[in-house]
Structure 1
Amino acid sequence: MVESKNKYVLLAVMFIALLLFPTLGFDFYNDMVSRIVILALFAVSLDLLVGYAGLISFGHAAWFGVGAYAFALLSTHYQVTDSFWITLPVALIAAAVLSFIVGLFVLRTKGIYFIMVTLAFAQVFYFLVHDVPAIGGSTDGLNLYARPTLEIGNWVLLDLENPLTMYYFILAALFFSVVLLWFFLRSPLGRAVQGIKINEHRMLSIGFPVFRYKLIVFVIASVFASLAGYLFAAQSYGVNPELLSWHKSADVLLMLIFGGMGQFVGGIVGAFAFILLKDVFMTYTDWWQLWLGITIVLFVLFLPGGLASLPSRFKALVGKA
């Protein structure tokens, strides 16, 4: 699925706005925006599965939690190291290995069965971190006392304890992740994955190893979700089992509904729309779940392409006029 030029323009405008946001002097909101950027990366990783590969996972939060807990366990729980050069590769490799193993099982199912099996595996990971003391098992989770150290020898490359530096580091992670996924989707493998979504049986009949390709994209999406979880743990100074819960998986799916599936700008727009709407409803009413649910229903009925489809809809209306 190739995005139109106006979506590239929207994506560029969003990144420029995020780049300039700290210069406005709203320091209080920098922390909130950086968290939304992390969730945007999380949504983009799920969009690779849902929007491009047609695999609707209800357990994607498991990989978000794996990345978060990998950093927490290494840096605080076991006090091994807080080096970025060690903790990040461990987080990504852990997600890759675990998702590969899980993928060998879940990708043999389809439709509602795939959704439920991914949820079941995610709940297994949830109860592991919730109930097993060796993995930091407790309802309260783990508090972190430092962010990753990004240095070579005695030379500090970036001081991630500085909130502004951390903000731009998270934004850079989102930018480079989107670029990497963009190139992946335009590679022969990426185009084959999109073909599987359109017609899996035809791709299979002409000789494509469908199961292998689905497993590859499942692992790639999990690795990027793990990166988002790693950044979340580092930015928020803490982790808890709720990061792996089905609620988290549901939230990121709702972000894609708000923003639009099959377009990376949709995951980013959807993350901001979902969090901001949720905060507004929580501020003004105790029944915020009801109003949020009504909003979701309206989006599905009247704007199925999400907020990212508005530029093309507006262009079509102008063309008719």
Structure 2
Amino acid sequence: MVRNRILGTLLAIALLALPPVAQALGEPFYIGIASRMLVFALAAMSLDLILGYGGMVCFGHAAFIGIGAYVVGILGHHAAEETLLLGFIPGTSSGWITWPLAMLCAGIFAFLVGAVSIRTQGLYFIMITLAFAQMAYFFFVTLKGYGGDDGLRLPQRSQFSDLISLRDKTTFYYVALGVLTAVYLLLLRVTRSRFGMVLRGAKENERRMLHIGVPTYRYRLAAFTIAGALAGLAGALMANQANFVSPAMMHWTRSGELIVMVILGGVGSLLGPAIGAVAFLSLEEVLSAYTEHWQIALGPLLLAVIYFARRGIYGALVTRRVL
């Protein structure tokens, strides 16, 4: 326990010190890379709630990210053009409005997808979530007024106050780090509560949970909705980080990448998927400098993790008492 606290403190210090160290070394580029890692860590952590704790292999999680990103992008577009969305909704770049709205829209879509897909299991669940995600993908492709397949440039980043300017890379990094920390603490509390116990019980043996009178469908649907809303928040951050939104954000391949991040880091550990996101994106940055087919090297690594570290990178570190 003491070792974990010490290492946790050192990790927090390292994360807080990263921007000033990068600036001092004359490498501010790494602040942007680290911010991207934090955003994907948030997305992977939200997926772990339903995959790791609920046993729901969702192949459409990226759709919730894309919806959250498009809420920010579309409202920002109308704010810059000084036009009304649907003829009566004013555009805005206020993060106080767009970020909660991104979570709300993604959560509603997740609720609708979950209401149908959670009634099934296994391959049927995977295919239904994939089908909904592809429908969302092609829907945004058809929105030519918002760039269609080419995507939509964000006119300006979300605004909060004069003290918080997301246009500054360092400020955005600390905002993303704060959001990730808050979500981690929230999910930690959720997974350790009775709610989390029911999720794990339904994953292990749903029939037994039903026999003792637990309405597992409601719990799993609630978890699916929460995960979708948090993915929408990750999408809002992603839109601001890239200054751009496109249907590619919600393609099924992005959902596959998120699943790989969760498996690589450690399923059902919350912190593991965040580590997996960092490892995945680090490999992408390093290997893509040598070849555009960098995913070829990822395959053997993933197989090695599955065979030799079945609890992922995080599980291997814990087993060796590194964390």
> TM-score, normalization: structure 2?
0.90
CA distance in 2, matches of 1:315, 1:143: 45
Secondary structure in 1 aligned to 2:230?
helix
2:157 pairs with 1:147: yes
Provide, for residues 92-139 of structure 1, a one-character-per-residue CA deviation record: whole Å limited to 9, x for no partner: 1111111111111111110111011101100000001111335x2512
Cα separation, partners in 2 of 1:87 and 1:200, compared to 1, 3 Å: same
CA distance in 2, matches of 1:187, 1:286: 44
2:142 pairs with 1:131: yes
Using the TM superposition, give the Cα deviation of residue 7 of structure 1 relative to its aligned residue in structure 2, in angstroms.
Answer: 6.2
CA distance in 1, matches of 2:5, 2:119: 35
Cα separation, partners in 2 of 1:11 and 1:99, compared to 1, 3 Å: farther
Structure 1, gaps ≥5 residues long: 317-321
Using the TM superposition, give the Cα deviation of residue 310 of structure 1 relative to its aligned residue in structure 2, in angstroms.
Answer: 2.1
2:125 pairs with 1:105: no
CA distance in 2, matches of 1:177, 1:192: 20
Aligned length: 308
Using the TM superposition, give the Cα deviation of residue 9 of structure 1 relative to its aligned residue in structure 2, in angstroms.
Answer: 5.9
Provide, for residues 272-300 of structure 1, a one-character-per-residue CA deviation record: whole Å limited to 9, x for no partner: 10011122222223442221112111221
Secondary structure in 2 aligned to 1:283?
coil
2:173 pairs with 1:167: yes
Report if aligned partners of 1:6, 1:311 keep a CA contact under 8 Å in 2: no
CA distance in 1, matches of 2:201, 2:2: 22
Pick one of 9, 13, 17 that aligns with 1:20. 17
Cα separation, partners in 2 of 1:224 and 1:6, compared to 1, 3 Å: farther
Task: Using the TM superposition, name which of 295-304 and 284-293 deviates more.
Answer: 284-293
Structure 2, gaps ≥5 residues long: 81-90
2:87 pairs with 1:90: no
CA distance in 1, matches of 2:319, 2:148: 48
Instruction: State the partner residue of 2:191.
Output: 185
Q: Which amino acid aligns with 1:110?
A: Q
Cα separation, partners in 2 of 1:10 and 1:300, compared to 1, 3 Å: farther
Using the TM superposition, give the Cα deviation of residue 86 of structure 1 relative to its aligned residue in structure 2, in angstroms.
Answer: 1.1
Secondary structure in 2 aligned to 1:172?
helix
2:260 pairs with 1:254: yes
2:111 pairs with 1:114: no
Instruction: State the partner residue of 2:46.
Output: 45
Task: Using the TM superposition, name which of 212-221 and 80-89 deviates more.
Answer: 80-89
Instruction: State the partner residue of 1:270.
Output: 276
Task: Using the TM superposition, name which of 262-271 and 181-190 deviates more.
Answer: 181-190
Report if aligned partners of 2:266, 2:272 keep a CA contact under 8 Å in 1: yes
Instruction: State the partner residue of 1:236.
Output: 242
Report if aligned partners of 1:11, 1:265 keep a CA contact under 8 Å in 2: no
Using the TM superposition, give the Cα deviation of residue 45 of structure 1 relative to its aligned residue in structure 2, in angstroms.
Answer: 0.3
Report if aligned partners of 1:53, 1:197 keep a CA contact under 8 Å in 2: yes
Report if aligned partners of 1:7, 1:311 keep a CA contact under 8 Å in 2: no
Report if aligned partners of 1:7, 1:308 keep a CA contact under 8 Å in 2: no
Task: Using the TM superposition, name which of 280-289 and 60-69 deviates more.
Answer: 280-289
CA distance in 2, matches of 1:39, 1:117: 24
Q: Which amino acid aligns with 1:206?
A: I
Using the TM superposition, give the Cα deviation of residue 27 of structure 1 relative to its aligned residue in structure 2, in angstroms.
Answer: 1.3
Report if aligned partners of 2:79, 2:93 keep a CA contact under 8 Å in 1: no
Q: Which amino acid aligns with 2:151?
A: G
2:209 pairs with 1:203: yes
Using the TM superposition, give the Cα deviation of residue 47 of structure 1 relative to its aligned residue in structure 2, in angstroms.
Answer: 0.5
Report if aligned partners of 1:58, 1:250 keep a CA contact under 8 Å in 2: yes
Secondary structure in 2 aligned to 1:52?
coil
| Aligned-residue identity in percent | 40
Report if aligned partners of 2:78, 2:92 keep a CA contact under 8 Å in 1: no
Instruction: State the partner residue of 1:319.
Output: none
Task: Using the TM superposition, name which of 223-232 and 285-294 deviates more.
Answer: 285-294
Secondary structure in 2 aligned to 1:139?
helix
Report if aligned partners of 2:61, 2:255 keep a CA contact under 8 Å in 1: yes
Using the TM superposition, give the Cα deviation of residue 190 of structure 1 relative to its aligned residue in structure 2, in angstroms.
Answer: 2.1
Report if aligned partners of 1:258, 1:270 keep a CA contact under 8 Å in 2: yes
CA distance in 2, matches of 1:281, 1:55: 31
Report if aligned partners of 1:128, 1:137 keep a CA contact under 8 Å in 2: no
Instruction: State the partner residue of 2:85.
Output: none
Secondary structure in 1 aligned to 2:320?
helix
Report if aligned partners of 1:77, 1:142 keep a CA contact under 8 Å in 2: no
Report if aligned partners of 1:6, 1:312 keep a CA contact under 8 Å in 2: no
Using the TM superposition, give the Cα deviation of residue 312 of structure 1 relative to its aligned residue in structure 2, in angstroms.
Answer: 2.9
Q: Which amino acid aligns with 1:74?
A: L
Report if aligned partners of 2:263, 2:312 keep a CA contact under 8 Å in 1: yes
